[in-house]
Each structure stands twice: as structure tokens, then as C-alpha cells.
Amino acid sequence: MIYPHMLNIVQRRNIHPLSTLIITFTYIFVVASFHSYAFIEMIPLSLYPIAMIIFCRLSIRHIKHVLIASLPFATVIGVSQLLFIDEHILFFHWYIEARWMAFSTFVLKNTLAILAATVLFLTTPIEQLAGALLSLRIPRFLVIQLLLTHRYIFLFLEEAKRLREAYMLRAPRHRAIKLSVWGSLVGHLLLRTFDRAERVYEAMTLRGFSIQHMHIKIKRWTTEEMIYTYVTVILFIVYRLVVI
Amino acid sequence: MISVSNVFYVYPDGHEAIRDLSFSVQKGESIGIIGANGAGKSTLLKLLVGLYTPQSGCIVIDNMRMSKQTLRHIRQIVGFTFQQADDQLFMPTVYDDVAFALRNDGINENEVNQRVANALTIVGAMHLKDRPPYRLSEGEKRLVTIATVLAMKPKILLMDEPTAALDPKARRTLIHLVQELPHTKIVTTHDLDFVLECCERTIVLANGTIVYDGPTENVLTNEPFLHEHHLELPLMLQKKK
């Protein structure tokens, strides 16, 4: 009975930010809590982000880019598993090297956590997330720091894109930016984004912005949304407790 | 309404941008500030909203001398639109951007709704209210930036190069809008035709000082003077060669 309601909530892409936040944190916690060789046990957990991507009709392209960007970091950190583990474990009927199982599990954990976080950011505007954090009693100045950092990241990316375009137009034969100009380019990028961020901040202060008075909307949590959250969180926890 | 007396402003790098500047503005006046690049036009506007603090001199707005204590109140009565509209629009939707200042003031949502609708209707941008600002055209962004300050019900409007990067139609829309707004207006621009149409008084700046302050028509028809200050006759006054 409740399930069609839940689907409806998800499909409207209008999930309460508090629900998405609690579910995502629980999900990441559950994923991270599995032991180092739990590769198979974790596969069913991939259903959650996949279901969210399908129901919320999220852009696969966006998600693909995020995953590709995170993969090198996960791989580099995961390599430590290959260096320090030296034992064999039973995998179905075969004895295999544990290091490879640990490495694969680590990359899978990372991928699932990044997927869940990406789903969170794609389904919930940052202002609503800020409201959800406030309703969880996170200190106001931390929440505003998060909002301003989020704004700065976009200014940074925008300026970086302009700089890259300007470089590529004047270096049409280069496939990438030359190593020798990286220093100057990054320096310029930082100075330009600082300037831009300052102008945006000036625009905010002229319109009465202050940390104490910044308006952050906190949406009401409906019973449906509450049930959807509890059911999903309980499902994750039960799965974690059953599959040890 | 505005009184600027003997104001000096030097940038941290030592560049003297404003030198001994004095002028006053009466209620309802519409003033164009023109001059070559680097003459101090944008610096002057930023001084008038307290984004920069003068090293000496005094600025009085609506009978309040500008100081840390009065800044908040002064900013409520002075609306400032930036040269680059993108710097001023930072919320996820046009509605949220126009409502930003009102919500910061703690105004209740019903009144916010009413004032946002009113401001967007004045600038003719009500149909854009749910759009993300970064997806708008330059002309639409310009209208929305004006709506963001109109929502605050300011007495004075300061506009930094409002017609920059606008196509002719968007520019014409803006000219009509500025002509209709009853506020006291100060506009810095290189668009001399805009000044001719919208401002009855013009101030010409050169190297941070005032070299002309008087009726617009007198200065914008004085070709030698304009040339001397890196300007030229407005296009509508230039004879076809």
C-alpha cells in the first residue's frame, strides 16, 4: 500500500531533502561498514542508486563523468590493499588471492558511495540540503560555509572553462594544456575566481546578506516522506545485519 | 538626496581613483556619469553604496552620513546593479534571486511573493520567474538584476554600465524601463545615446575628478570637449559622412 506512494514521492523528484540526506548517509555508512572481502554481499546494495537514477530520470552522462573523475583516486588508494595483504581466501570453491578481492571491494565501496552522493546532489538543490542540515541541528555557520563553498566551486569551474577555452583557441594543435603554463594558468584562475567571488559577495551584502539573517527554507516533513525514509533506512540496516 | 564632498579614494596598489570629488543630487534627478576607461566611474558608484570607503571626504545619502552604523540602512534605500549581471545573480531561480534581499530582511513569504511579482512585472520579466538565471540572455539578465533591486523598494538606483553587451532591442527595452522608473538615478555608461535619452544631467569624469557637471545636451553636443576626454558625439547626433 505504502510502496506506490513511495514511488510517487521519488518519481516527482520532490523527495524531502531530509529524507534523501538521512537515506544517503545511512547508505554510505552501511556500504563502508562491510568487511574488506564483501564484494558479492555488496552487489545488491547497488540497487538503491540504480533505482534512484531510473526513477528520478537522472542524466547518466553527468554520473558517468563524476565516476570517471573519482576512479583514479579510488584506484590509487586501493592499490595499498594489493601491497599489504598477503593471504588467500575461499571464494565459492576456489582459493584466490585476498589482495585482489580487497582491492575490488574497496573500488566497489567507493563507487557506490560516490553514486549515492551524486544522486543526493542531483535530486536535491543545495539550498534545500542546507535547510535539511539546519533541521538536524547542524550549526548555522557551518551550513552557510557549505552554501558559499558550493557557490565558489561553480564560479571556479566557470572561470576554469573560460581560461581553458581561451588557451585552446590560441593553441589549436595542443590536445591538452602544456605543463609549462600550468603554474601561470592556475595562478590566474585563483586570482580571477577570488575577484569574481568578491564581486558576488559584494552583491550579496548589498542585498542585506549576513550569516545571522540568511534565509534558509526548511520544508515540512510529511508522514509519507517520513515512512519512506524509515522503511528505506530499516531495509539497509536489516540487510547489513543479516548479511555479515 | 545625495551629497558628496571632497572625497578622495586611493586603491591599495596606490592608484588614485577619485580626487577631491564633490557634487550633490536632488530627489528624482536622473544623472549620467561618463568618462574614459579608468576615469573613476565604477569606483564612484561603489563609494556611494559603501563597498569602498573613502580615505577622506564625506558622503551623505538621504540625510545620513555614510558610516559603519548607517551602512545597512543606506543600502536599503540605494539599489545598485553591477556591470556584469552574472555577478549579481546567484540563486537557483529568478524568483529566489529577486526574493533574496527580502528574505534576508525577514519579510514574511506572502509579502515576498507580492513584491517579487510586482518587481518582475515592472521590468516585464514575470515569465522568467522559474528560470535559472544563468540560462537567460544578457538582456533578460539585465532586467532581472533591476528587478532584484526594485524589490527592495529603493529610493535611489545606481546602475553600472546597464546597456553593456545588450542587443538593440534589449537596449531599447531597458531605455524605456529606465525612463519610466520614478527613482533618483545615477548611471555610469559609455553609451552616450542612452545618456541623451535618459538623463537630464551629466557628470564627466577624467582622472578621478569632475570636469563637467550640467545639462546633458550642452555637453553631448560639444564635440571638441568630448574628444578631449576620449568621448565622441552620440550616434544620433553624428552626421552621416
Domains in chain B: boundaries: 2-229
Contacts of B123 (CB under 8 A, 6+ apart): B143, B144, B146, B147, B150, B177
What whole-number percentage of chain B has pLDDT above 90?
Answer: 56
Are A186 and A103 found together in one domain? no
Which residues of B are less than 8 Å from A151 in CB distance? 90
Give residue A172's pLDDT band: very low, low, confident or very high (50, 70, 90).
low
Which tens digits make up the pLDDT trace of A185-236?
A: 888 888 888 888 888 888 888 888 776 666 777 777 888 888 989 999 999 9
**Reduced 3-state DSSP string for chain A:** CHHHHHHHHHHCCCCCHHHHHHHHHHHHHHHHHCCCCCHHHHHHHHHHHHHHHHHCCCCHHHHHHHHHHHHHHHHHHHHHHHHHCCCEEEECCEEEEHHHHHHHHHHHHHHHHHHHHHHHHHHCCHHHHHHHHHHCCCCHHHHHHHHHHHHHHHHHHHHHHHHHHHHHHHCCCCCCCCHHHHHHHHHHHHHHHHHHHHHHHHHHHHCCCCCCCCCCCCCCCCHHHHHHHHHHHHHHHHHHHHCC
Are A29 and A84 found together in one domain? yes
Does residue A11 lie within any of the structural domains? yes
Q: CA-CA distance, B189 to B145, in Å (whole number)?
A: 16
Question: How near does any CA of chain A get to the CA of B103, in Å?
Answer: 6
pLDDT of residue A244: 65
Does residue A35 lie within any of the structural domains? yes
Burial class (CB in 10 A: 0-12, 13-18, 19+), A94: exposed
pLDDT at B104 over 90: no
**In chain A, how many domains are there?**
2
For A72: left if phi > 0, alpha if psi spans -120 to 50, otherwise beta; the answer is alpha
What whole-number percentage of chain A has pLDDT above 70?
Answer: 91
pLDDT at A132 over 80: yes
- Note whether B100 contacts A204, CB cutoff 8 Å: yes
pLDDT of residue A12: 46
Mean pLDDT calculated for residue range B58-67: 92
pLDDT at A2 over 50: no
Are A170 and A54 found together in one domain? no
pLDDT of residue A124: 84
- Note whether A207 contacts B49, CB cutoff 8 Å: no
pLDDT of residue A13: 54
Does residue A214 lie within any of the structural domains? no
Give the HSE-up count for residue B90: Cα atoms under 13 Å, Cβ half-sphere: 29
pLDDT of residue A4: 45
Does residue A73 lie within any of the structural domains? yes
pLDDT at B212 over 90: yes
Are A168 and A231 found together in one domain? no
B202 close contact with A: CB closer than 8 A: no
Are A115 and A230 found together in one domain? yes
pLDDT at A81 over 80: no
Which residues of B are less than 8 Å from A194 in CB distance? none
Which of A151, A199, A207 is nearest residue B100 as measured by Cβ atoms?
A207
Give residue A7's pLDDT band: very low, low, confident or very high (50, 70, 90).
very low
B130 close contact with A: CB closer than 8 A: no
Are A76 and A187 found together in one domain? no
Taking domain B2-229, whether its CATH number is 1.20.210.10 is answered by: no
**A residues 150-169 closer than 8 Å to B (CB):** 151
Which residues of B are less than 8 Å from A199 in CB distance? 82, 84, 87
- Note whether B104 contacts A200, CB cutoff 8 Å: no
B88 close contact with A: CB closer than 8 A: yes
Q: What global pTM score does this model have?
A: 0.71
Q: CA-CA distance, B45 to B17, in Å (whole number)?
A: 12
ipTM for this prediction = 0.73
pLDDT at B106 over 50: yes
Does residue A161 lie within any of the structural domains? yes
pLDDT at B46 over 60: yes
- Note whether B92 contacts A214, CB cutoff 8 Å: no
The residue segments making up the domain with residue A119 are 2-124+220-242
A220 close contact with B: CB closer than 8 A: no
Are A64 and A146 found together in one domain? no
B49 close contact with A: CB closer than 8 A: yes
Are A187 and A85 found together in one domain? no
Mean pLDDT calculated for residue range B171-190: 91
